């Protein structure tokens, strides 16, 4: 690995290097990260030069494209230390990955009265698919509550697990607080009860090294676009025995080995879950993103981003009414200012060219537990600088002055 150099890292992002965009202060990477040139090149190259599709046609271009497409699957498997390339399913993103597990893995196994435990810290993507499934099967969603630090309270788990528990749904890292629960303990407790675990890795995969084997998660989902890859592409990792035991969810071309007018025989995993022509450019782009990330010192990069969040938090602490929801060490800084509505502040920050997000961040139960109607969230990435911190702090002060008049 080359030592981490944020100036060098920043240079990879055309959005930060165009004259017109010199003033861009992008603090919304937890919603979607900017795209590095290597990923842009991989996707453009497909549309410009490939002239083919994958897993279908026999011409030369189609064959070499299929190889590149499957090589990207291997790159992603290596990136999260999956034991087998077949354990990687392409999806549209975290949301689709979790819906796939809900409908394909759990639905056929769920009886009326069965229970799904969902942590109260979840993004709606790891809550609503379980609510929908519970309604379809007359099952129950049981809340794993938050502890005093607004993390899922793992110590409450043993009392919730029982013979009717069919799954635990939990995130690796909150997209609001940046908090990371003790997943190892949660997963060990669930497995001792014979309960599989669905981990939402949408944020966690970005901010640390993920080893799905060490984690021992049964299912792990993430999106390309938060990991510097394209939108519309994501991953579901599943343990081989789980994936192989699952029926397809979407039917269509290339997910079967044989069909007649009455029945079809599904392909092996992962292809049985990938009906229809896939997002080829997305796959190639994500492959190039993880390959590029693998050449960086990601621990140093994360330390750098977290330091920026720390600096912003310290500077904003001097603002009357400032309250931080940030877990220490995180590069996400969610905060509010007592007595001032977050939408008023965000509108004025936008005027100053400071890009961040305000609201519930698709995590309404957590936001309500924090006792607020919403928060502002500045999410720092390794392409941000101390200047971005200063623009955020100045922008907040500017907004408060205007709103006080």
Active site residues: 362
Taking CB under 6 A as the criterion, the residue among 165, 203, 311, 379 binding ligand PMP is 203
Taking CB under 6 A as the criterion, the residue among 125, 154, 269, 376 binding ligand PMP is 125
CA atoms of 334 and 323, how far apart (whole Å): 9
End-to-end CA distance of the chain: 52
Q: Mask of contacts with ligand PMP, 236-265, x by CB under 6 A?
A: ------------------------------
Over its C-alpha atoms, the chain yields an Rg (Å, rounded) of: 22
Which one of the spans 8-16, 42-50, 75-83, 87-95 is the region binding ligand PMP (CB under 6 A)? 87-95
Taking CB under 6 A as the criterion, the residue among 362, 366, 378, 381 binding ligand PMP is 362
Asked whether 80 and 220 are in contact (CB, 8 A), the reply is yes
Q: Which is nearer to ligand PMP, 361 or 391 (CB)?
A: 361
**3 state SS of 58:** coil
CA atoms of 394 and 388, how far apart (whole Å): 10
CA atoms of 354 and 374, how far apart (whole Å): 18
Name the minimum Å distance from CB 31 to ligand PMP. 6
CA atoms of 234 and 400, how far apart (whole Å): 39
CA atoms of 95 and 235, how far apart (whole Å): 10
Cα within 13 Å of Cα(221), Cβ side? 23
Asked whether 337 and 400 are in contact (CB, 8 A), the reply is yes
CA atoms of 168 and 154, how far apart (whole Å): 11
Q: Which is nearer to ligand PMP, 65 or 376 (CB)?
A: 376
Structure tokens at 301: 């990069």
Instruction: Report 143-162 residues binding ligand PMP (CB under 6 A).
Output: none
Taking CB under 6 A as the criterion, the residue among 50, 197, 198, 202 binding ligand PMP is 202
Which one of the spans 73-81, 110-118, 120-128, 259-267 is the region binding ligand PMP (CB under 6 A)? 120-128
Q: Can residue 129 be called a binding residue for ligand PMP (CB under 6 A)?
A: no
Q: Can residue 198 be called a binding residue for ligand PMP (CB under 6 A)?
A: no
Taking CB under 6 A as the criterion, the residue among 29, 75, 119, 175 binding ligand PMP is 175
**3 state SS of 183:** helix
Q: Which is nearer to ligand PMP, 200 or 218 (CB)?
A: 200
By the 10 Å C-beta count (0-12 exposed, 13-18 middle, 19+ buried), 226 is classed as buried
Q: Can residue 171 be called a binding residue for ligand PMP (CB under 6 A)?
A: yes
Name the minimum Å distance from CB 7 to ligand PMP. 28
Q: Which is nearer to ligand PMP, 337 or 362 (CB)?
A: 362
Taking CB under 6 A as the criterion, the residue among 87, 114, 115, 200 binding ligand PMP is 200
Which one of the spans 19-27, 72-80, 123-131, 351-359 is the region binding ligand PMP (CB under 6 A)? 123-131
Q: Can residue 223 be called a binding residue for ligand PMP (CB under 6 A)?
A: yes
- Inter-axis angle of helices 386-404 and 298-316, nearest 10: 30
Q: Can residue 95 be called a binding residue for ligand PMP (CB under 6 A)?
A: yes
Asked whether 36 and 15 are in contact (CB, 8 A), the reply is no
Taking CB under 6 A as the criterion, the residue among 12, 73, 123, 326 binding ligand PMP is 123
CA atoms of 340 and 348, how far apart (whole Å): 12
Q: Can residue 166 be called a binding residue for ligand PMP (CB under 6 A)?
A: no
Name the minimum Å distance from CB 350 to ligand PMP. 19
Write the CB contacts of 250 (distance below 8 Å, at least 6 apart in sequence): 273, 275, 276
Q: Can residue 285 be called a binding residue for ligand PMP (CB under 6 A)?
A: no
Question: What is the length of the chain?
Answer: 405
Judged by the rule CB under 6 A, the positions of this chain that interact with ligand PMP are: 93-95, 123, 125-126, 171, 175, 200, 202-203, 223, 362
């Amino acid at each position: 690995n080359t030592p981490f150099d944020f100036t060098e890292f920043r240079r990879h992002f055309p959005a930060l290097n165009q004259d017109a965009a010199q003033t861009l202060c992008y603090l919304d990477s937890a919603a979607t990260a900017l795209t590095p040139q290597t990923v842009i090149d991989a996707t453009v190259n497909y549309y410009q030069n490939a002239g083919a599709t994958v897993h279908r046609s026999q011409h030369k271009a189609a064959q070499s494209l299929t190889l590149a497409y499957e090589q990207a699957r291997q790159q992603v498997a290596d990136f999260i230390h999956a034991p087998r390339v077949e354990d990687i399913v392409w999806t549209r993103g975290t949301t689709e990955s979790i819906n796939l597990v809900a409908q394909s893995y759990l639905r056929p196994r769920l009886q009326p009265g069965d229970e799904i435990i969902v942590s109260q810290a979840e993004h709606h993507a790891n809550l609503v698919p379980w609510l929908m499934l519970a309604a379809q099967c007359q099952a129950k969603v049981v809340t794993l509550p938050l502890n005093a630090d607004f993390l899922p309270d793992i110590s409450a788990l043993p009392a919730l697990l029982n013979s009717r528990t069919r799954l635990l749904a939990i995130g690796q890292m909150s997209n609001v607080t940046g908090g990371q629960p003790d997943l190892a303990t949660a997963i060990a407790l669930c497995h001792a009860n014979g309960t599989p675990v669905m981990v939402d890795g949408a944020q966690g995969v970005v901010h640390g090294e993920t080893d799905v084997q060490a984690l021992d998660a049964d299912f792990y989902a993430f999106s390309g676009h938060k990991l510097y890859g394209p939108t519309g592409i994501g991953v579901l990792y599943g343990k081989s025995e789980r994936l192989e035991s699952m029926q397809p969810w979407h039917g269509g071309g290339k997910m079967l080995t044989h069909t007649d007018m009455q029945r079809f025989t599904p392909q092996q995993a992962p292809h049985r879950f990938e009906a229809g022509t896939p997002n080829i450019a997305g796959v190639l782009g994500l492959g190039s993103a993880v390959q590029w990330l693998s050449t960086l010192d990601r621990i140093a990069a994360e330390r750098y981003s977290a330091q920026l969040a720390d600096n912003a938090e310290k500077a904003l602490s001097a603002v009357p009414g400032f309250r931080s929801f940030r877990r220490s060490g995180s590069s996400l800084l969610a905060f509010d200012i007592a007595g001032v509505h977050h939408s008023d502040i965000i509108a004025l920050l936008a005027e100053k060219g400071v890009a961040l997000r305000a609201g519930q961040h698709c995590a309404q139960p957590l936001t309500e537990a924090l006792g607020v109607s919403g928060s502002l969230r500045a999410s720092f990435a390794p392409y941000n600088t101390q200047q971005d911190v200063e623009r955020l702090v100045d922008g907040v002060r500017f907004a408060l002055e205007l709103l006080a008049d």
